[in-house]
Structure 1
Amino acid sequence: MTRPHSFTPLTAALACALLAGCNLAPRYQTPPLPVPGTMASPLPQPQTAGAVALPDGGPMAWQDFVQDARLRTVVEQALANNRDLRVAVLAIDKARAQYGVVQADSFPTVNAAGAGNRSRTADDLTAAGRSNTTSQYSATLGFSSYEIDFFGRVRNLNDAALQEFLRVAENRRSVQLSLVAEVIGAWLTLDADARRLQLARETLRTRQQALELTQRSHELGASSGLVLAQAQSAADTARVDAAAFVSQLARSRNALALLVGSPVPPALLPASVATVETAMPVTAMAGPATTATQPSPGTGTADSPAPRSSVPALADPAAPATALLAVPADVPSSVLLRRPDVRAAEHALQGATANIGAARAAFFPSITLTASVGTASNALSGLFEGGNGTWAFAPQIRLPIFDAGRNQANLRVAEVTRDTAVAQYEKAIQTAFREVSDALAERATLTERLQAQGSLVQATQRTLQLSDARFRLGADNYLAVLDAQRTLYAAQQAQITLQLAEQVNRVTLYKVLGGAWTDPTPPPAGGS
């Protein structure tokens, strides 16, 4: 006679778990790139001084991109203290915890329970007419309502939660990449504002000297009141600009401190900031000049003093604050797949695909198990004695018959959500393609524009020298000198702005390309 196999709730649960494995989610396929294969620059990329070649394959660390030691330290402080990045990191912790909650549904929840019950029955309620006292004690170990995942509902919900966690992690990378770019941009803007202030102060100094000499000349009768008024107007204009740039420099410094999350030590600021902050502000000088030139007979204003046309030397455009990355002329579009926002959009698409599988599983039967083992006794002392064991096994099957279209509507919602995620994924790639293309188009003409602006500054300097010489010889009036001064000042300010644009463009390229120039092996679709 064959001995029957023992049947326990544990073996039953294991057998049901082995049968589970059907997955109703559609097979995920990465959508094709909705953009051209390469992001070609409209013009060949010129080689620029200070260029640094990017390592082949994969993204470049921001520490390699930032060459200035002071700026690198500032970025490190921002990564440690910035509140937006801290919120993004906390969001990862929250998503990880939520994923753990969903993942727990894949396993039965085992609970231990102990109970004791002692009751007395009244005399009138017993057959013998005497009160009866009963006791019952039990100890059990088991689980309840554990779903056997035959059709992958729990597994797909678990996959959707995992993709949400990965999406939040990519958002954190996106915030960090943006923060690095913003800190570098704010640092460079602070440097440009300091150089603008330095130029404005130097211009104010030369125009004040010219005003004093013109005023002395007017007192001696060698120049007219119109020339004096024009010199006063030029000095006042420079004074307004200098005061405005002082405010702008303070605002730029506050913006950098907000990004870093704490005040930036002066030693970590650009050298131009220390130069303008240690220099004494230029104020109007009172009193007559120490020397004056007497007008020569017959020369009119030929020998009258004229404004000095000296201007401060600007920073060499060939020596940028951060080393220039050597960007290839044609960048493959597949590199966009490494951008954090694109990868986040793909994780959202993968999660939406998994939700379709969960919605489809709702059309099929669901099986849940409740099982327990334990011991029971009328006396607490005999609770764990032999022969007092108990067990219970209660499987339950649920089959949807009529739900008024609820499951069909839920499936349609999941499918539309997936289609929406596809459109958002493609839009993210197209947006990234445009951002990179715009940055490359800007990059293609920056060198030529810088050279042209440098030539314009030299030409305006020469114009000012010639206008000043003609005024001294009496061949022209002072209005031509003032016009040449204004033109030179505007050209120099534009040169500083263009130098800043060239540096910020490099930062923008690093950001919009996700820190990568080449992508020989795109990341896997699952991306974990």
Structure 2
Amino acid sequence: MQNIWSISGRSIALSALALSLAACQSMRGPEPVAQVTIPTGYVNSSAGQSIAEKGYKDFFTDARLLKVIDLSLENNRDLRTAALNIQRAQQQYQISENNQLPTIGASGSVVRQVSPSVNPNNPYSTYQVGLGVTAYELDFWGRVRSLKDNALDNFLATQSSRDATQIALVGSVAQAWLSYSFANEQLRLSEQTLKAQLDSYNLNKKRFDVGIDSEIPVRQAQVSVETARSDVANFKTQVVQAKNLLDLLVGQPVSKELLPTKGVTRITNDKTLFTGMPSDLLHNRPDIKTSEYQLSAAGANIGAARAQMFPTISLTGTAGYASTDLNKLFRSGGFAWSIGPSLDVPIFDWGTRKANVKISETDQQIALANYEKSIQTAFREVNDALATRQNIGDRISAQRNLVQATNVTYKLSNARFRSGIDSFLTVLDAQRSSYSAEQGLLLLQQADLNNQIELYKTLGGGIKATTAEQVVYPASSSQQHYEKK
């Protein structure tokens, strides 16, 4: 009879375990649909494969910049933190996955006691060892499975967040590298202007000393000299600050040989910056994928909250040996086992579980709104970059013509002043116009190169090192549920 009951007990336990693993159903409900209109094309874009498909080593041309980018990917603290967050989320997912399996533990005990019904004057010892399953939840309603799905989506969201951090880092490093280059160009221009202003000051002082002109031109020239000297000091500060920013982004001091020594005129060999189809943006932008995973995680939370409305069934079992004689502990007749379920039925909780369901549903709507906004923001950023791209060429061309015109005006006015035809005030005005036009041209050239980087970044470029690499984002838990149906 004992053998029959042992076999039956084991069968019941195994059947219950198989049932709990196979029969659990998700109660997350239907997934919401994003209400975002995807445009059929970008404004002022060029048809062709998106530049985001290119690895950053194929998009950027300068070997020094590529080396700086590689150093930043190795040492940047924000990227390092993002990688550590991935490890943490992975362990959280592992814990949630382990919760689907029973926890088996070993136990042993020695109890010294006196029984009033058995020789009350002589205490005796009881020895016990065994294995046990402690409160293993039979996941009939999918609560544990939903928590696992939530952990999976959070893990995937952390991975895509790391990719978004890398894209931002690659773009920021390239722009900081450019900023250092153009700060040096502005410094050179201001030093050249200071030299020209000093020449004008010395000339006016000589004319004043010999009695040709009054003191007014001398003081006017002195004002220009001091203004130019202030600009030189300002741009020296900007050069140092640009280097400090680059060092911070890279995570270590950037060596001098990796810094641009001359003005950067080209950042990529691509003459036409193709944007691809708008639908490509949904796959290339990891921040959109992050919002998508977070939306799926919110749906999994709904399933867990709804499952809490139903009874929780847990299984507890033990098997081992017990004896009052330590020497006879593992002999026949000392084996004992027990198995049984426990039931937790919600009756009165004053609406707490219903409120939790409402909260999880609200969280899903918040996640949906954030997902929709991330899509809208991505398209806005691309269109803003394209809007700048459309007119930057005309602006640079006009600025070059302005530089040429102001330089000619300065030369003519200077010649007329030296001939005694015009006053120094005309030269001073022409100098200021020429200097301002040169500064404006440098700013526009920097804006043009920054815009190329910005367009590459907003389209989702910067994750891959080379174009041949493939970036594939795993399916979210909601997609996996949909594919199984």
Q: TM-score, normalised by structure 2?
A: 0.89
Whole-angstrom distance in 1 between the partners of 2:40 and 2:243: 42
Counterpart in the other structure of 1:177 = 167
Write the distance in 2 (CA, Å) between the matches of 1:507 and 1:428.
20
Q: Does residue 24 in structure 1 map to residue 14 in structure 2?
A: no
What's the CA shift for 1:229? 2.0
Matches within 5 A, 1:75-224: 75-119=69-113, 131-224=121-214
Q: Within 1, Cα distance between the matches of 2:174 and 2:462? A: 18
Contact 2:156 2:290 survives alignment (8 Å): yes
Helix, strand or coil at the partner of 1:144: strand
One-letter code of the match for 2:338? A
- Is residue 350 of structure 1 aligned with residue 296 of structure 2? yes
* Number of the residue aligned with 2:259: 269
- Tell me which amino acid in the other structure corresponds to 1:154: V
Q: Distance in 2 between matches of 1:218 and 1:522?
A: 75
| CA RMSD, 1 decimal | 2.8
Give the direction of change, closer, same or farther, for the CA distance of 1:516–1:182 in structure 2 (3 Å limit): closer
Instruction: Decide which of 394, 397, 419 is 1:448's aligned counterpart.
Output: 394
TM-aligned CA deviation for residue 401 of structure 1: 2.8
Question: Are 1:181 and 1:508, in contact at CA under 8 Å, matched by a contact in 2?
Answer: yes
Residues 56 and 202 of structure 1, relative CA distance in 2, 3 Å threshold: closer
Match of 2:287 among 341, 358, 366: 341
SS at match of 1:394: strand
Mind listing any 5+ residue stretches in structure 2 that lack a counterpart?
481-485
Task: Report the Cα distance in structure 1 between the residues aligned to 2:118 and 2:433, rounded to whole angstroms.
Answer: 118
Cα deviation for residue 492 of structure 1 reads 0.3
Q: SS state of the match for residue 493, structure 1?
A: helix
Q: What residue is the counterpart of 1:366 in the other structure?
A: 312
**What pairs with 1:112-511 in structure 2 (closer than 5 Å)?**
112-119=106-113, 131-272=121-262, 319-324=265-270, 326-328=272-274, 331-511=277-457
Alignment coverage as a number of residue pairs = 468
Deviation for aligned residue 1:402: 2.9
**2:9 corresponding residue in structure 1:** 8
Q: Tell me the amino acid that sits aligned with residue 246 of structure 1.
A: K
- For residues 329 and 136 of structure 1, the distance between their equivalents in structure 2, rounded to whole angstroms, comes to 78
Offset, 1:32: 5.1
SS of equivalent to 2:8: coil
Amino acid in the other structure paired with 2:426 = A
What is aligned with 2:483?
Answer: none
Give the structure 2 partner of residue 275 of structure 1: none
Query: What residue in structure 1 maps to residue 37 of structure 2?
Result: 34
Retained in 2: the 8 A contact 1:156–1:357?
yes
- Decide whether the 8 Å contact of 1:103 with 1:158 is kept in 2: yes
1:432 is matched by which residue type in structure 2?
A: A
Distance 1:33 1:366 in 2: 40
SS in structure 2 of the partner of residue 132 of structure 1: coil
The structure having more radius of gyration, on CA atoms, is 1
1:214 is displaced (CA, Å) by 2.6
Name 1:49's counterpart in structure 2.
none
Contact 2:96 2:151 in 1 (8 A): yes
**Which structure has the highest helix share of the two?**
2
Distance 1:67 1:54, change over 3 A: farther
Opposite residue 99 of structure 1, the aligned amino acid is Y
Using a 3 Å threshold, how does the CA distance of structure 1 residues 339 and 478 change in structure 2: closer, same or farther?
Answer: same
* Cα gap change, 1:237 to 1:68, in 2 (>3 Å): same
Q: State how far apart, in whole Å, the 2-side matches of 1:11 and 1:381 are.
A: 33
Q: Which residue is 1:283 aligned to?
A: none
Unaligned runs of 5+ in 1: 46-52, 273-314
SS in 2 for 1:223: coil
> Distance in 1 between the 2:52 and 2:436 partners?
43
1:21-72 CA distance string (max 9 Å, x none): 322111336535434232222xx66xxxxxxx98669733222222211111
**CA distance, structure 2, for counterparts of residue 150 and residue 57 of structure 1:** 49
- The Cα offsets for residues 413-453 of structure 1, whole Å up to 9 and x where unpaired, read as 11111111111100111111111111110111111111111
Q: TM-score, normalised by structure 1?
A: 0.82
Q: Sort the Cα spacing of 1:473 and 1:392 in 2 relative to 1 into closer, same or farther, 3 A.
A: same
- Whole-Å separation in 1 of the counterparts to 2:441 and 2:364: 50
2:201 partner amino acid: L
Post-superposition offset of 1:209: 2.1
Q: Give the aligned partner of residue 66 of structure 2.
A: 72
Amino acid at match of 1:254: N
* Cα deviation digits, residues 482-502 of structure 1 (max 9, x gap): 111100000001111111111
**Paired residue type of 1:114:** G
Instruction: Give the Å deviation of 1:337.
Output: 4.0
Alignment identity in percent?
A: 40
